[in-house]
C-alpha cells in the first residue's frame, strides 16, 4: 500500500494536483445549486491542499480535522435543516468529497475520491444539460481516468 509519503513524493505529485483540479472543476459544474459558503469552503480546502502538496509532513492534526469535519457538517445541517432535496444531496456529496481531499493517505483513498468525482459528474447532468457542460464533464471524466491509470501504472507515464 502507498503511504502519504509516496502520494506526496515527486512521482505522485501530479495525481494530487490533478485531484485538486478535478475538485475545483466539479465545484464549477455544481455552482448553480451549491450555496456560496460551500463554494468558499471547498476553495479554501483546495488551496490548503495545493499549498501542502509538496510537504509530506505538513498535514492537519487529527483534532483540527475533526473540528473542520464536525463544524462543516453542523453548518451544513443548520443551513439545510429538513429541506431534503436533490440539491441538498449533491451539495452534501461535494462537501464530503472536499473533506476527503484532506484525508488522502493511501492509494485506496485516492481511488475512492476519484470514484466519487465520477459520480458527481453524473449527478451534475441533473441540473445542467448544455453542450459546454458536457465538454467540461468529458474533461473531468478523462482526468479521473488519467488519475486511475497513473495510480495503477505508476510514474512510467511521466
C-alpha dist (Å) from residue 140 to 29, 77, 86, 122: 10, 29, 21, 11
Using DSSP, state whether 26 is helix, strand or coil: helix
Residue 139, all three cell numbers: 474533461
Q: What is the pLDDT of residues 55-82, one digit of tens each?
A: 655 667 788 889 999 999 999 999 988 8
Q: What is the dihedral of CA 125, 87, 69, 112, to 10 degrees?
A: -20
Q: Which residue has the cell 457538517?
A: 73
Alpha-carbon gap, residue 36 to 117, rounded angstroms: 20
Residue 40, pLDDT score: 95
157 vs 17 pLDDT, higher one: 17
Residue 118, pLDDT score: 95
Statement: residue 54 has pLDDT above 70: no
- Percentage of the chain lying above the pLDDT 70 cut: 85
Q: What is the pLDDT of residues 116-134, one digit of tens each?
A: 999 999 999 999 999 999 9
Alpha-carbon gap, residue 110 to 51, rounded angstroms: 18
Residue 15, pLDDT score: 72
**Residue 53 pLDDT class (50, 70, 90 cuts):** confident
Q: What interhelical angle do 86-102 and 62-80 show, nearest 10? A: 170
**Residue 13 pLDDT class (50, 70, 90 cuts):** low
**Residue 8 pLDDT class (50, 70, 90 cuts):** very low
Closest to 100 (Cα-Cα) out of 6, 9, 8, 16: 16
Amino acid at each position: 500500500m502507498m503511504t502519504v509519503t509516496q502520494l506526496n513524493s515527486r512521482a505522485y505529485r501530479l495525481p494530487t494536483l490533478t485531484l485538486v483540479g478535478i475538485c475545483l472543476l466539479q465545484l464549477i459544474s455544481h455552482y448553480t445549486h451549491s450555496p456560496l459558503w460551500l463554494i468558499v469552503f471547498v476553495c479554501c480546502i483546495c488551496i490548503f491542499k495545493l499549498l501542502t502538496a509538496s510537504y509530506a509532513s505538513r498535514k492537519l492534526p487529527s483534532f483540527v480535522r475533526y473540528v473542520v469535519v464536525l463544524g462543516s457538517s453542523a453548518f451544513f445541517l443548520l443551513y439545510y435543516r429538513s429541506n431534503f432535496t436533490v440539491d441538498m444531496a449533491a451539495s452534501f456529496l461535494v462537501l464530503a468529497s472536499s473533506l476527503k481531499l484532506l484525508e488522502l493517505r493511501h492509494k485506496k483513498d485516492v481511488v475512492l475520491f476519484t470514484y466519487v468525482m465520477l459520480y458527481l459528474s453524473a449527478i451534475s447532468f441533473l441540473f445542467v444539460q448544455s453542450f459546454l457542460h458536457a465538454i467540461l464533464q468529458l474533461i473531468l471524466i478523462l482526468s479521473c481516468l488519467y488519475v486511475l491509470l497513473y495510480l495503477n501504472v505508476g510514474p512510467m507515464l511521466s
